[in-house]
A and B are shown apart, each in its own frame.
Chain A
């Protein structure tokens, strides 16, 4: 997995609440069997008209936001479907961090699987960052220090330690768990005796 240490760049403001994963990447793009190539379809219905032309005033279609590395968005970002295509499309577009007041659980988790840092801030801080983003102020996100800097603002954020470590080191989660193979096997042997109906061959 890609590492995440720090990030410097323009942040796109998207002041909409409840942005769902259908909005982030609509269904027609879920037919792929690859993880890549989805960036061009990110926020498809807000970005393109019925004929597939760019909608010029949508933030990600305007300069300099078309090169955004960060998204600042309204509450409950990433609600809805579990599709990992949502973080895949954000990453493929170039976005490596999303800032909001809250995230839906599955989306939040999916971000970390893909080297994207979702950051939860207070409503007051979100307002400040939204304004800074609109004013095209450069953001700096420092994961080791857990700080977002934008203009005069310096905002600390919380992150669970294991998630931080995984991003900093780009760890392979499956590889780590496979290190506990003996424990998993022992668990299964124990349950085979205690709950045999769960081990009936399908």
Chain B
């Protein structure tokens, strides 16, 4: 990457944050904001303590408990280990003077929901968190990526990270999205196309009229699942939609700096003739509502499609992998996707737990009832999303339809709290991972959009929103 010549959005953010080169040839990248949660931070704080190191810049870090928290009866966390973890975060943040949104704070929620919601996430920033879905914040044109606990400790101690530049990949999606197709379908389609290792070593910039036409919520869903395509981060150029979203939020630049910030942010989009190591162009008219059938996010198919046949696999490895997935998922090749019967519906997560997602679900299930054999639960991404939904009467529509209305957290996306699938249970989920055991040992996950999950809750089978009126 040269300093002269046209630059990508990634190149611009990278060079702005380069503190210098260490003697070993690695780059030190400055980190503007560090988000911390209870699961991947205790060992980092312990490490600081053992080596007697302070936090370099406590005010650049924000902490919240989300992974481990119950979504009902949260005054008392029953699981003693979860309780210790949450208490440890409270203690560590207090000790180091780090802002912490506790469980009773309305601003509490999934770390990747509250960053944008509070205006903490801004264009041109570098943002890290000990969580792979940190890529979500790339929707604002911020370079945001997940890190391990050792790196969390490194960032706390130095406000920098040791990095070498990623490669640039651009995925352009052009055209008006067909009816019934939205951001979740787009990103599932992309992952299906490039595979879960397709983005390894790269930062993916999403561009094109379909992407730029999305709301901030839709853009966040896209960037969120960049990690499922193997990419370190996802990026979308900031534009007026971005600025409008940020303006007036609690941690956004105030009036004294607003114009200066917008001027800087407006300089960030990639130069027209910038070079990419990889380019992929997609016509959005080829995309259907998408559903996963297997145990990897790349195992996607149109909702109109069927479960694949292992014998049609191109390689022996792929054949084995499909067979393994089908056995785990309890599915037979050739089964129509819409013939798959469900037990549970989970709507929430950092992928699809925002107000716009809840509004879509409410508009679909209004004056209807969920199928008698399904259990459906909806977990708002933050306390403020929950409050807003309640102000709009969304909670009532959902409860009348038979949904359970929960408190904010990561919940059944990863099942660290009591919200889990039982062995063999099949779930339509708006989350991001369908790995074996992810939502509970033996649980079977079908990833899809909130629209499809809502329609599926009513019929009790995986359903195509386009057939559902």
A residues sitting closer than 8 Å to B (CB atoms) are 15-18, 20, 22-23, 26-28, 30-35, 45, 50, 74-76, 79-84, 87, 102-106, 109-110, 113-114, 160-162, 165-166, 172-178, 180-181, 183-184, 187-188, 191, 195-198, 200-202
Given contacts A82-B130, A178-B158, 16 further A-B contacts (CB under 8 A): A15-B320, A22-B414, A31-B82, A31-B85, A33-B43, A79-B196, A82-B148, A174-B154, A174-B158, A176-B24, A177-B28, A184-B19, A187-B20, A188-B57, A188-B159, A200-B257
In the complex, what residues of A have CB within 8 A of residue B232's CB?
Answer: 105-106
B56 at the A/B interface (Cβ < 8 Å)? yes
Asked if residues B414 and A27 are in contact (CB atoms below 8 Å), the reply is yes
Set B67, B120, B154: member contacting A177, Cβ < 8 A: B154
Asked if residues A202 and B99 are in contact (CB atoms below 8 Å), the reply is yes
Docked complex Cα distance between A183 and B158 (Å):
11
Distance in angstroms from B95 CB to nearest chain A CB is 14
B460 at the A/B interface (Cβ < 8 Å)? no
Contacts A27-B415, A33-B84, A79-B230; A165 near B253 (Cβ below 8 A): no
Contacts A34-B43, A162-B25; A82 near B20 (Cβ below 8 A): no
Interface range on chain B: under 10, 10 to 19, 20 to 34, or 35 or more?
35 or more
**Which of B234-242, B397-405, B429-437 lies at the binding interface?**
B429-437
In the complex, what residues of B have CB within 8 A of residue A202's CB?
Answer: 59-60, 62, 99, 120, 251
Interface residues of B in 36-68 (CB under 8 A from A): 39-40, 42-43, 46, 51, 53, 56-57, 59-60, 62, 67-68
Docked complex Cα distance between A104 and B149 (Å):
16
Asked if residues B148 and A183 are in contact (CB atoms below 8 Å), the reply is no
Distance in angstroms from A127 CB to nearest chain B CB is 10
In the complex, what residues of A have CB within 8 A of residue B130's CB?
Answer: 82, 84
Asked if residues A180 and B20 are in contact (CB atoms below 8 Å), the reply is yes
Asked if residues A79 and B197 are in contact (CB atoms below 8 Å), the reply is yes
Asked if residues B81 and A81 are in contact (CB atoms below 8 Å), the reply is no
Q: List 16 A-B contacts (CB under 8 A).
A: A22-B414, A22-B437, A31-B39, A31-B79, A34-B43, A45-B436, A76-B196, A82-B131, A83-B40, A110-B150, A178-B158, A187-B30, A191-B30, A195-B261, A196-B257, A198-B32
B147 at the A/B interface (Cβ < 8 Å)? yes
Asked if residues A33 and B85 are in contact (CB atoms below 8 Å), the reply is yes
Interface residues of B in 116-161 (CB under 8 A from A): 120, 122, 125, 130-132, 145-151, 153-154, 157-160
Asked if residues A18 and B196 are in contact (CB atoms below 8 Å), the reply is yes
Distance in angstroms from A59 CB to nearest chain B CB is 15
A36 nearest CB neighbor, chain B only: B43
Docked complex Cα distance between A75 and B164 (Å):
23
Distance in angstroms from B447 CB to nearest chain A CB is 13
B310 at the A/B interface (Cβ < 8 Å)? no
Contacts A174-B154, A184-B159, A197-B261; A80 near B433 (Cβ below 8 A): yes
In the complex, what residues of A have CB within 8 A of residue B314's CB?
Answer: none
Docked complex Cα distance between A162 and B257 (Å):
40
Asked if residues B416 and A31 are in contact (CB atoms below 8 Å), the reply is yes
Docked complex Cα distance between A106 and B145 (Å):
9
Asked if residues A74 and B264 are in contact (CB atoms below 8 Å), the reply is no
B393 at the A/B interface (Cβ < 8 Å)? no
Asked if residues B162 and A104 are in contact (CB atoms below 8 Å), the reply is no
Docked complex Cα distance between A109 and B67 (Å):
23
Contacts A16-B324, A26-B437; A102 near B264 (Cβ below 8 A): no
In the complex, what residues of B have CB within 8 A of residue A34's CB?
Answer: 43
In the complex, what residues of A have CB within 8 A of residue B88's CB?
Answer: 33
Docked complex Cα distance between A15 and B158 (Å):
40
Asked if residues B85 and A183 are in contact (CB atoms below 8 Å), the reply is no
Set A30, A177, A180, A191: member contacting B416, Cβ < 8 A: A30
Docked complex Cα distance between A92 and B258 (Å):
50
A77 nearest CB neighbor, chain B only: B197
Docked complex Cα distance between A10 and B259 (Å):
62
Distance in angstroms from B216 CB to nearest chain A CB is 19
Set B145, B154, B260: member contacting A197, Cβ < 8 A: B260
Distance in angstroms from B150 CB to nearest chain A CB is 4
Set B20, B148, B253, B414: member contacting A113, Cβ < 8 A: B148
B275 at the A/B interface (Cβ < 8 Å)? no
Docked complex Cα distance between A23 and B88 (Å):
26
Docked complex Cα distance between A109 and B152 (Å):
13
Asked if residues A174 and B148 are in contact (CB atoms below 8 Å), the reply is no
Question: What 7 pairs between A and B have smallest CB-CB spacing?
Answer: A113-B150, A197-B253, A33-B42, A31-B81, A110-B148, A197-B257, A84-B148
B260 nearest CB neighbor, chain A only: A197
Asked if residues A22 and B162 are in contact (CB atoms below 8 Å), the reply is no
Docked complex Cα distance between A187 and B17 (Å):
9
Asked if residues B257 and A82 are in contact (CB atoms below 8 Å), the reply is no
B321 at the A/B interface (Cβ < 8 Å)? yes
Asked if residues A104 and B230 are in contact (CB atoms below 8 Å), the reply is yes
Asked if residues A109 and B435 are in contact (CB atoms below 8 Å), the reply is no
Asked if residues B437 and A50 are in contact (CB atoms below 8 Å), the reply is no
B183 at the A/B interface (Cβ < 8 Å)? no
Asked if residues A104 and B200 are in contact (CB atoms below 8 Å), the reply is yes
Docked complex Cα distance between A110 and B130 (Å):
11
Docked complex Cα distance between A93 and B57 (Å):
36
Docked complex Cα distance between A176 and B433 (Å):
36
Docked complex Cα distance between A80 and B191 (Å):
13
Docked complex Cα distance between A106 and B132 (Å):
8
B180 at the A/B interface (Cβ < 8 Å)? no
In the complex, what residues of B have CB within 8 A of residue A45's CB?
Answer: 436-437, 441
In the complex, what residues of B have CB within 8 A of residue A109's CB?
Answer: 147-148, 151
B423 at the A/B interface (Cβ < 8 Å)? yes
B199 nearest CB neighbor, chain A only: A105
Distance in angstroms from A116 CB to nearest chain B CB is 12
Contacts A33-B43, A80-B435; A173 near B154 (Cβ below 8 A): yes
Distance in angstroms from B197 CB to nearest chain A CB is 4
Set A103, A110, A180, A195: member contacting B19, Cβ < 8 A: A180
B201 at the A/B interface (Cβ < 8 Å)? yes
Distance in angstroms from A148 CB to nearest chain B CB is 21
Asked if residues A162 and B40 are in contact (CB atoms below 8 Å), the reply is no
B386 at the A/B interface (Cβ < 8 Å)? no
Docked complex Cα distance between A116 and B232 (Å):
21
